Amino acid sequence: MSYAEHATADYRLTILKALTEEDDNRLNETLIERVLETFGHTKSRDYLRTQLKKLEDLGAVKLTEPGSVYVAELLRPGLDHVERRSFLEGVLKPSIGG
């Protein structure tokens, strides 16, 4: 796996983990962007949207657009990935115990 592929896979995992931290498993893209920046991922809003759409294509999240921002909701396949029950292609596997 190249560095770029690894960084993208980590970016996607960070999104999924952030969603698991919410009581309703939902966050808007502005809040997701802040979480990503905390972990050193400083990409454009277009890049974030592309990755959210990829996670939606994988069945990990459901996206809605109630206004001008996306809202991502974690779905079972995304939770299963974070909890290491099954794995999604293109998403970094979470470390054991974290």
Judge if pTM exceeds 0.85.
yes
Q: State the CATH architecture for 3-82.
A: Orthogonal Bundle (1.10)
User: What is the full per-residue pLDDT of the chain (98 aa) written as tens digits?
Assistant: 899 999 999 999 999 999 999 999 999 999 999 999 999 999 999 999 999 999 999 999 999 999 899 999 999 999 999 999 999 999 999 988 65
Helix (H) / strand (E) element for 28: namely strand 26-28
Query: How does DSSP classify residue 23?
Result: T
Token pair belonging to 17: 């983990």
pLDDT of residue 91: 98
* DSSP of 32-98: HHHHHHHTT----HHHHHHHHHHHHHTTSEEEE-SSSS-EEEE-HHHHHHHTTSS--TTSPPPPTT-
pLDDT of 89 reads 97
Domain ranges in the chain are: 3-82
Confidence (pLDDT) at 98? 55
As beta bridge partners, residue 72 has 27, 63
